[in-house]
Amino acid sequence: MKTHNQIYKKMYSLENINFSYKKARKGKSKEDYVKNFEQNLEENLKNLQYELILKTYKPHGLRRFIVRDPKTRTIHSSLFIDRIVHHIIVHILEPIFEKVFIYDSFASREDKGTHLAIKRFCEFMRRVSQNGRLVKNAFNNNQIIGYCLKADIKSYFDNVDHEILINIIKKKINDEEAIKLIRKVLYNFKGKDEGKGMPLGNYTSQFFANVYLNELDYFIKHELKVKYYIRYVDDFVILHKSKKRLNYLKNRIEGYLFNRLKLKLHPTKSKILPLRNGITFLGYRIFYHYKLLIKRNMKFAKRKIIMLKNKELDEQKFIEFFKGWEGYAKWANTYNLRKRLLLESK
């Protein structure tokens, strides 16, 4: 396997620092912390470069807060200067690892995303269900054959092992100074268990999540020879005609996760389901002939409308929310729902 050296010099190049600053400020240019940083922009970027060259850079503490959108999550926010460093690391590493990522990993990658993952799922469902192809202009899902192993890794971000991740990165990166910088970012997060965990909210966490589980992708695709597999962060699905085969695959995957990556499947969220009943994946309930939004996402939109009417949410923020939500919802059979909610908001 080809390894890359002289990586750290690329990281602290002024070109990479300038690029990473622009990426970190994207969509945040009106924030006070960005405006303050830009008052002495050239000096601040030069100082960051000196810290990286002299290896004196130290990340600041993370700010912890809770968001509900609609799922409740604990987010850790970094200072703007540290966000620039996260982009500095990922901008250099991403092209190297992107070449080895499998096609059907859809999270936090350019030209991928939720909608393409759903489209791929529907394609796999059609391939697996032979009878499904014969049903024309019908909504009889009882004729759909095949099963789906729908799996979720238990507390994934809390349980990523730092040393395992570093060793995976070292397979491609042969530069100790670059590794030291990555360690600084990883060790800055104090999780439940020492030496484990990545913070939700860090740009590096999104990227390292794919690096870590790329090992699982290779095991499933190349060792288990699975054809119909899709992963989106720590959620993944495998489609097959045989329930027995999926049970076998589930057991093999559980063993690999535990022995090689120190992870476990979620005991209640990981199960084998018949395709004819519809599969909940990435916020949609997917049937052979149509897709629905899950109830949680519909309730979330209705709650935003109530907040708007109660003056708890200003009109401009609601418009921004609704445009984003509508763009997501329109991928399901939701025309009447979207029309009704839009009328309710007026």
Q: Which of 151, 144, 161, 150 is nearest to 198 (CA)?
A: 161
pLDDT at 69: 66
**Is 291 or 228 the better-scoring residue by pLDDT?**
228
Rounded mean pLDDT of 248-259? 98
Report which DSSP code applies to 146: -
Are 80 and 34 in contact by the 8 Å Cβ rule? The answer is yes
Q: Is the pLDDT of residue 132 over 70?
A: no
Q: How many CA atoms lie within 13 A of 231 on its CB side?
A: 25
Distance between CA atoms of residues 41 and 35, nearest Å: 9
Span 60-111, pLDDT tens digits: 999 988 877 667 788 889 999 999 999 999 999 999 999 999 999 999 999 9
* pTM of the predicted structure, to 2 decimals: 0.89
- Note the Cα 245 to chain centre separation in Å: 28
| Average model confidence (pLDDT) across the chain | 90
**Is 335 or 140 the better-scoring residue by pLDDT?**
335
Distance between CA atoms of residues 191 and 159, nearest Å: 9
* Helix residue ranges per DSSP H, the chain: 7-11, 14-25, 32-39, 41-54, 80-98, 114-128, 130-134, 156-159, 162-170, 176-187, 203-218, 243-256, 295-309, 315-329, 335-344
Distance between CA atoms of residues 13 and 17, nearest Å: 6
Are 97 and 168 in contact by the 8 Å Cβ rule? The answer is no
Q: Is the pLDDT of residue 122 over 80?
A: yes
pLDDT at 68: 73
Q: Which of 40, 36, 41, 34 is nearest to 17 (CA)?
A: 41
